[in-house]
């Protein structure tokens, strides 16, 4: 019986004084408060989101809808912050422990604020993307990624400053380290600056067909910080350092308004003048009547007798297609080739081919020469 009384007294003493001078009942109540807020965080977020959705659905813009979607995560975290603050406020803490708990509360609030700012970058992208026509889509994506990184870094710095970790000396040390690294990584920064210039000047964009220094030809698939991915027409990927585009010539075929067809049609020398003129006029009429060919000041076409070659009279046919698509261009080019053959044949003319005439002054006699070894000296 005496042991039970002693246990009762010890239990009440622990209940009142608790652990580390904290009242056990206050600790239990604080934990219950925190768990209650933690459990209700989803209901709280859903309630706020549903209210906000009713408001934003009345508008025609998509930005406010995106804002509501991205803040759902921080809203679920907010009840946790509130629950921890209320729970720790209910408990009577010593001065030293109270300072530590205050730091925790400040840290949680700071994390909430910077998490919310980080999420708001997504709806902010709708505003920045309005400038894609003036700059470029990859540069816009770089800007958004850079903004996200800056917010994360500032959030980490703010938390470190709260805990008394001085970031200034660390940044100064990193600055000296950065200078040393920069001296050894000049190519990296050269590629980075060249990549930014590519995006700002819009020399080419993703999807363009380019030719780099008459060596690499293909479709631009990705413009990175250090290099650009160009996929050849045989599906081979080629990574080109960005500084190459600043030092070498780049031909952007996708910026052409039209594609050109330029042929020299070789006709036989026995073709009469009337036949030549009739073939010329028929080809001109064909091009004029075909909507696939461009007809303006910047893309005029020519059908003219151009030159006299060794074995043919050459007629120049130069025309520009309306389309810039490679597949459609090949189809138009094939149709034009077939039509030219039909026109030449319809005018009873023929295409010339390389030939050479031989003039023999004397022919060998029919008598065979008799081989006699004695005649060889």
259-346 shares the fold of 204-255: no
Has residue 195 got a pLDDT over 90? Answer: no
The domains of the chain are located at 20-165, 204-255, 259-346
Higher pLDDT, 372 or 65: 65
pLDDT at 266: 93
Q: What is the CATH number of domain 259-346?
A: 3.30.70.100
CA distance 256 to 320: 11
Has residue 259 got a pLDDT over 80? Answer: yes
Nearest to 220 by CA among 212, 211, 233, 230: 230
Nearest to 262 by CA among 301, 230, 311, 223: 301
pLDDT at 272: 93
At the topology level, CATH places domain 204-255 in SH3 type barrels. (2.30.30)
**Displacement of CA 162 from its chain's centroid (Å):** 39
Q: Is 208 helix (H, G, I), strand (E, B) or coil?
A: coil
Q: What is the pLDDT of residues 57-105, one digit of tens each?
A: 777 777 777 777 888 888 888 888 888 888 888 777 777 778 888 898 8
**Displacement of CA 41 from its chain's centroid (Å):** 38
Mean pLDDT of 9-28: 63
Secondary structure letter of residue 370 according to DSSP: P
pLDDT at 147: 83
Judged on CB neighbours under 10 Å (0-12, 13-18, 19+), 338 is exposed
């Amino acid at each position: 019986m005496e042991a039970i009384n002693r246990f009762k007294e010890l239990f009440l003493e622990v209940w009142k004084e608790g652990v580390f001078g904290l009242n056990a009942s206050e600790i239990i109540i604080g934990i219950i408060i925190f768990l209650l807020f933690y459990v209700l965080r989803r209901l709280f977020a859903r309630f706020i989101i549903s209210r906000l959705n009713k408001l934003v659905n009345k508008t025609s813009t998509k930005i406010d809808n995106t804002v509501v979607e991205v803040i759902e995560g921080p809203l679920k975290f907010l009840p946790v912050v509130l629950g921890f603050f209320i729970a720790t406020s209910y408990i009577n803490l010593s001065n030293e422990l109270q300072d530590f708990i205050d730091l925790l509360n400040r840290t949680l609030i700071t994390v909430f604020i910077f998490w919310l700012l980080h999420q708001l970058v997504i709806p902010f992208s709708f505003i920045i993307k309005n400038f894609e026509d003036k700059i470029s889509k990859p540069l816009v994506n770089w800007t958004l990624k850079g903004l996200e990184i800056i917010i994360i870094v500032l959030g980490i710095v703010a938390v470190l400053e709260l805990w008394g970790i001085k970031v200034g000396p660390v940044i100064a040390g990193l600055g000296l380290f950065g200078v040393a690294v920069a001296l050894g990584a000049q190519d990296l920064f050269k590629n980075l600056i060249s990549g930014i210039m590519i995006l700002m000047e819009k020399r080419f964009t993703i999807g363009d067909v380019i030719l780099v220094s008459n060596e690499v030809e293909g479709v631009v698939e990705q413009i990175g910080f250090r290099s650009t991915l160009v996929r050849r027409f045989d599906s081979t990927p080629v990574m080109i350092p960005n500084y190459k585009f600043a030092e070498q010539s780049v031909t952007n075929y996708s910026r052409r308004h039209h594609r050109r067809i330029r042929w020299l049609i070789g006709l036989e020398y026995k073709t009469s003048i009337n036949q030549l003129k009739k073939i010329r006029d028929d080809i001109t009429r064909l091009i004029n009547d075909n909507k696939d060919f461009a007809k303006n000041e910047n893309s005029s076409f020519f059908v003219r007798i151009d030159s006299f070659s060794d074995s043919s009279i050459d007629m120049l046919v130069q025309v520009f297609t309306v389309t810039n698509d490679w597949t459609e261009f090949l189809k138009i080019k094939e149709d034009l080739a077939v039509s030219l053959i039909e026109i030449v044949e319809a005018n009873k003319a023929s295409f010339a081919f390389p030939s050479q005439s031989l003039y023999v002054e004397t022919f060998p006699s029919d008598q065979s020469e008799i081989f006699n070894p004695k005649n060889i000296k």
